[in-house]
Structure formats: C-alpha cells, structure tokens
Structure 1
Amino acid sequence: MLLTLTLYLLLISKAMAFSFPIENDPNVILKQLLFEIKDANNRCEKLLDEKVCIINEINKALEVAVSAEQKIDLLVEKDKINREIEYLRLDNSGEISKIRYLKGLQIIKILYEKVLSLDHHFASVRTLNEINKMSNPNQYPEYEKLKEVVSAKKDKKTSFELSSILGTNSMVSLVQTFTSMVSSNMSKEEKEKELANVECILDFTLRMQNDLNTIYFETAFLQNSNTKIKSDIEGLFRDYTKPIGYTATLDSCRSTDDWEHVTSKMEEYLNKLKTSTGTAQYKMQVNLEFPVDRLLQFITQYNNFIDQGGKFYEKFKIILNSYENEKQCESKLPMEYKKLKSDIDVAINKFNIAYKPVEINGTKMKEI
C-alpha cells in the first residue's frame, strides 16, 4: 500500500513539475488549491482509516493471544503499521505543502502580470503637462486670438505687458486680458463677439482647473502606490523562493520563462524534506510554510490597493461629469477632456474585472 502511494505521489509530482497551466484569474487558482488540498486530505484519511482498522484488529488479537511468540509477532506488526501511519502523514504533509507552494507560485505569477499591467496603465495616463493644457486658457488658439485682438486695440498709455512667467499663469493672464479689454477702444459689439468665441473655453478652464489637477495628483499617488506594490511582490518572490535555493529575481524568472526551474527546485527541496528527521525536518517544513503566509499578507495588500484604485477612478468619473455646461459647450471642449473621460471609464472597468481583488476571506485563509 505504501509503495502504491509513493508511486502515485511520484506521478503527481512529475505532472505538476512539467505543467504550469495558463490561467490569469487567481480566484480560479485558489479554488483549485482548496480542492486539491481537500482531495489530498481525503485520500490520506482513507488510507489512515484502513491502517487504524488493522491496528484495531491487532489489538483485539493481542487480547486473546496466549503465547509470547504470538504477542511478539502481533506487536511487531503493530509497530510496522504505526510506522506506515507516520509515513502516510509525512507524505500527506509534504503533498499539502507542495500544493500550497506551487499554487502560491502561480498566484504570484498572475498578480505580477496584473501589477505590470497597472504600471503600464499609469504610465499612459495624462501627464501634468497635458492636464495643464486642458485647464489653462493660454493653451487654446481661440483665447490666444482674443489676446491678440485686445493687444492691438488696448490703451498703450495705461496697459502693460506681463513677464514670461506671469504670462503663463492663467488667472493673471485672464485679469490682464479683461482689464485691457475694458480700457481698449473695442466697440461693444466687438467685445461681445470675441467673448462669445471664448466663453466656453474660459468657463471650462476656470471651473475644471482644480478638479483636473486633483485627478492628476491623485493618479500620481496611485502610480507611486503601484510602484511600491511592484517592489513588494518582487521582494515576496525573493523570500518565497529563498528556502528552495532559487536565486533569480521575479523579473528575470518572468523574462526567461524559468518557472519549470522553480518547480524542479521545489521537488529537490521536498525530497530533502522527506529524508530529513527531527529538528532539521521541522525547520525545513516551517521554511516552506512561512512564504505562503507572506503571500496571503500580500494578497490582502493587493486587494486593498485595487479597492482604493477603483474608488479613486469612480471619484474621477464623478468629477469629470460634474461640469454643468458640458452640453452647451460640447463642440468647444478639448478632445483631451473627452479622451480622459473615456480613459477613466476603461480604467474603472479594468479595476472591476482585469485587476479585480483575489476573493479570499477569513474562512478560506483557514482552509489554506
């Protein structure tokens, strides 16, 4: 029976060592993990029950045994069965550790891809320069034209020119332009005509400037947070693979598709674990369990970040949709504004689906 179990575990080991299923949903991996742990425990329990039944039969036989020879034979057999029970439990413990470790490795691989995708996402969002262009009237040709018209007809005696620094400041520029317009020799009709050309631009930039800056700086905050998440998962992988003697970085492992090598190092470690005894064996077991606990901590960290990011983008959507004159000024609004709204909708969808949190609660953590 023990030989059969060993052969079975060997076949399972070979299958797991050379197949790394393509899956991008960590929740699927978690379900597989729980199922495989339960299946391994059930198989072990069945074999243990058989051994316990044999022990019970031996105990009954000992009660009625008469000769010393009979008792010795029964005790030897009982000792043999007890050793087989120990081996079964040890094999099952190793199998559970292996399942947890390899499934954990798959989860790390999946989450790293998601973190890299997030990194790419944040790198492609609007830059501060692009936000400034949207929120600064000086960046709009219509407003530049107004300034030229006003400059040509302003009162040369009372007017003044702004410095290069103040000239780029939207509020100072607006005050100077309107002050010059009031004192210029432009007719009422000319003033109304020119203002009509820029009213939507001025309304949009004045109302939305602070909101657009808020979106930029809070996105920058999320980007920095994601950089930390990326650093943390790379550190997690380093700690995760340290016990089994794998030294390459997560980035290197991903770039060279070296996952099978990690699995083979795990096999070597498990073989050493099975042949170890006493304190050395216990220490090796603990070293294997600790990284999995670290992974569970990282999953919580990742989930919190994704939840936070999703809420931020929902907030951005509300901010952009709050511009009350959007309908009246639709034709005058910058394309970047419309693109930003579209990008935020895409981001919300990604945070809800592509980057969605790993569904792990207290009950599941206990099962793992």
Structure 2
Amino acid sequence: MTRCFPLLILLLLLCNVNSASASKDLKSNPTLEQHLNELVFRVTTIQSRYTYYKNIIHQNISIINSQLQQNKSLKQQVELLIKKDSLKDDLIRISKNELLEINKIRYLKGLEIIKILYEKTLSLDHHFSSVNTINDVNKISNPHFYPEFTNVMDQFKSKKKKSFGFDLSSILEENIYASVIHTFISLFTNNNKQISTEKSLSDVECILDFTLQMHNDLNIIYFETIFLQKSNDNIREELEQLFIDYTKPILYTNSLDICRNTDDWAEIGVLLNKYLDELQVIKNDSSKSGNVKSMLIDLEFSIDRLLQFIARYNAFINQGEIYYEKFGIMLNGYENEQRCSDKIPVEYQKLKESIIIAVEKFKTAYKPIEINGSKLKEVLYGINEYD
C-alpha cells in the first residue's frame, strides 16, 4: 500500500485548484439562498474529498509506525522514517490545497452575495424614488391642494367687505392651521348674502376634517420615509466600500457601480485566478511563507465583514417593514373615510395601496435569507475545518 500511494498523492497535488471557472460562477444568477446552499454543499464536498485522501495518508503512517515497532535493520528503519516524513509533507501540501479551494469558493460566493445585495439596495432606491409617497403626502395633507377649499377662500377674498375680516400673509396662508382658522372665521362672520355659509361649509367640511385629522400622521409618514431613504443611501454606500475592500487584494480597481454597469464580473474571476495561481506557486516555498500567510489572510477577511454587513442590512429591512406596517395602520385610522369617500383624494387610496405593496416587498423581495444555523456559520467562518 505504501508503494502505490505516492502516485495517488502526486495526482492529487497536480490538480489545479483553479480548475473551476471563477468567471462562470460570477456570470450565473441564482438567488441568495441558492448561493448559500451551494456554498455549504461545495465546501462540504471539498472537505469530504480531502478527508478521504488525508485518511489514506494517516493509514499509511499508521502502517509505517507498526513496521517501525517490529525488528527491523537500521537501514530499513531509516527508509521507513523517510517515507513517514514524506507522507507528513504530503499531508501539509494537501491541507494547503484544501484551504485554497475552500477560500476560492468562499470568496466567489461572498462576491455573489455582495452582487445580489447591491441589486436589492438599488431596488429600494428605485422604490423610494418612483413611489410618489413623499410628494403625495405633502399634497394631500394640505387643504390648499383641494380646489373646493381654494374656491371658498377665493369667494371670500373677492366678496368680503373691507370692514370685515382680514387677509392672511403668503406665509400664513400656506400654514394649514392658520388657513383653516381663517376659513372658519370668514364663514361665520360672513354677511354677504351671495355666499351661503352652510353650502360653503358642506363643500369643505370633509376636506377640513380629513386634513386636520390626518395632517400629523401624514407628516410622520413624510419624514420617516425620507429617513428610510437616507438610511438606504448609507447602506448602499457601505456596501460599495465593502466591495472596494473585498476586491483590493486581487488588484481589481473599478467601483461596484462601474463593475455592474459594464458587466465586468468576468474580469474579477480572471484576477482571482491569477491571485490563486501565485499562491499555488509560492505556497510550498518556505522562504515565502510570510507572503502566503498574508495573501491568505487578505482572501479570508471578507466573510466576517460580509456577515456583519448582512446583519446590518437585515436590521434596516426589518426597520423598514415595521415603519411601513405602522404607516398602514395610520392611514387606516381615518374615521370618516366612508362618509367622505367622494371628497377624499385618489392619492390617499393610492398611498394606502402602495404601503401594502411596500410591506410585502420588505418581507420578501428586499429581505435576504437570515444567516442562522451552526452548520452554515461553521462553513462561512471556517470553524473546526482544519485539524
């Protein structure tokens, strides 16, 4: 057995760690969950394959140890010790190959996770910019948005006697509370028979009721939506910086935005293979052991930071989901919706519908898989993988 085994070792050591195409991995488009499942599967497969070869080496070492305990000549013992040392060297080389293969897969899958998360942040960006929530909230919370209200205001301006009433300044006229108070004063101090106080009030009562009841809630939705938009900007910028740090060791210089827009993922695969080729050449050179260690650390750093980022991204998505659920409750809180259905603007219903859709998106489309489970963390972190 000890005679045939070196051939097996030789074949294994000649295997190219980069035989799998990095470019091909980066051009595929599975979901985030599929990437993580594939990562677990591929790492486990590599570990099983190398464990098989390591076990063969350990068996051969055990055989040699048994032979050394037998009565052997000095020459035979020296030959056996040389074989044993050779097998130990093979074991070290195999472990290094295993480490390179696993690090490559981890790196590529980490890059795919960054790619998918970036698309999610861009989708969120599109969500905040395309949904007219901010502008709609601003408009429907102000009575001046409604023609019925402005018509009544204009009637009093044109028909009122100089001895009664007063005009608001342009600043106060835009203030919802000052404007509503001025309207009521004008209605109940009206002496102009051409203007019916009851009719004017009936024309605007639903508008006044809606804007006064919903003004504070709509303002909260307005400012908290802006806050979420700013938070998403921060998340996207953090992810872009993570990509720069992630690809720096392999000397890739384009930003994440440029890489995405030019579909330059294949170039990252090429540079990664060059990086691994260099590691493959110098990993058995004892004089360059420091370089090997440094290059491996640079390649391995990504997983921990990526997991930390995913935790922050998940926290932001959870926060957004809670906010939008709260927005839905606030919008459904208007008590006179049925009585004033013909006066409430269509923007109000559209806003309610967009909130429902947004809640569902925060629960599904924007949310990545939760990274839980000891096995997945073990595979990602590399815990207990190398004895």
Structure-1-length-normalised TM-score: 0.94
Amino acid in structure 1 at the alignment position of 2:29: E
- 1:264-298 Cα shifts (integer Å, max 9, x gaps): 21111122223234222111111111122211111
Q: 268-277 or 242-251: which moved more?
A: 268-277
- 1:126-275 equivalences under 5 Å are 126=132, 128-186=134-192, 190-274=196-280, 275=282
Q: 314-323 or 152-161: which moved more?
A: 152-161
2:12 alignment partner in structure 1: 5
- Is 1:308 aligned with 2:319? yes
Q: Which runs of 5+ in 2 are unaligned?
A: 1-7, 381-387
Q: Is the 8 A contact 1:299 1:358 kept in 2?
A: no
Structure-2-length-normalised TM-score: 0.89
CA distance in 2, matches of 1:308, 1:333: 30
Q: Is the 8 A contact 2:26 2:269 kept in 1?
A: no
Deviation at 1:115, TM superposition (A): 0.6
Deviation at 1:153, TM superposition (A): 4.2
Q: Percent identity?
A: 46
CA distance in 1, matches of 2:128, 2:204: 33
CA distance in 2, matches of 1:16, 1:238: 18
Deviation at 1:188, TM superposition (A): 11
Decide whether aligned partners of structure 1 residues 24 and 124 sit closer, same or farther in structure 2, where only a CA change above 3 A counts. Answer: farther
- Is 1:112 aligned with 2:124? no
Q: 81-90 or 103-112: which moved more?
A: 81-90
- Is 1:356 aligned with 2:367? yes
- 1:194-231 Cα shifts (integer Å, max 9, x gaps): 21122111111111111111101001101111111111
Equivalenced residues, count: 367
Deviation at 1:69, TM superposition (A): 2.2
- 1:29-69 Cα shifts (integer Å, max 9, x gaps): 11111111111111111110011111111111122242222
Q: Is the 8 A contact 2:50 2:98 kept in 1?
A: yes
Q: Which runs of 5+ in 1 are unaligned?
A: none
1:317 alignment partner in structure 2: 328
CA distance in 2, matches of 1:345, 1:128: 16
Q: Is the 8 A contact 1:134 1:337 kept in 2?
A: yes
Deviation at 1:152, TM superposition (A): 4.3
1:288 alignment partner in structure 2: 299
Decide whether aligned partners of structure 1 residues 229 and 101 sit closer, same or farther in structure 2, where only a CA change above 3 A counts. Answer: same
Higher RCO, 1 vs 2 (CA within 8 Å, ≥6 residues apart): 2
1:365 alignment partner in structure 2: 377
Q: Is the 8 A contact 1:200 1:332 kept in 2?
A: yes
Deviation at 1:163, TM superposition (A): 1.6
Question: Which of these residues, 28, 35, 40, is aligned with residue 34 of structure 2?
Answer: 28
Amino acid in structure 1 at the alignment position of 2:369: V
Amino acid in structure 1 at the alignment position of 2:212: L
- Is 1:95 aligned with 2:101? yes
Decide whether aligned partners of structure 1 residues 307 and 127 sit closer, same or farther in structure 2, where only a CA change above 3 A counts. Answer: closer
CA distance in 2, matches of 1:307, 1:315: 12
2:383 alignment partner in structure 1: none
CA distance in 2, matches of 1:95, 1:300: 27
Please state which structure has a larger fraction of its residues in helix.
Answer: 1
Amino acid in structure 2 at the alignment position of 1:279: G
* Structure 1 vs Structure 2 CA RMSD: 2.0
Q: Secondary structure at the match of 1:14?
A: coil
CA distance in 1, matches of 2:326, 2:40: 36
1:41 alignment partner in structure 2: 47
Deviation at 1:3, TM superposition (A): 3.9
- 1:12-36 Cα shifts (integer Å, max 9, x gaps): 6333443435335322211111111
Q: Is the 8 A contact 1:215 1:316 kept in 2?
A: yes
2:4 alignment partner in structure 1: none
Q: Secondary structure at the match of 1:246?
A: coil
Q: Is the 8 A contact 1:135 1:212 kept in 2?
A: yes
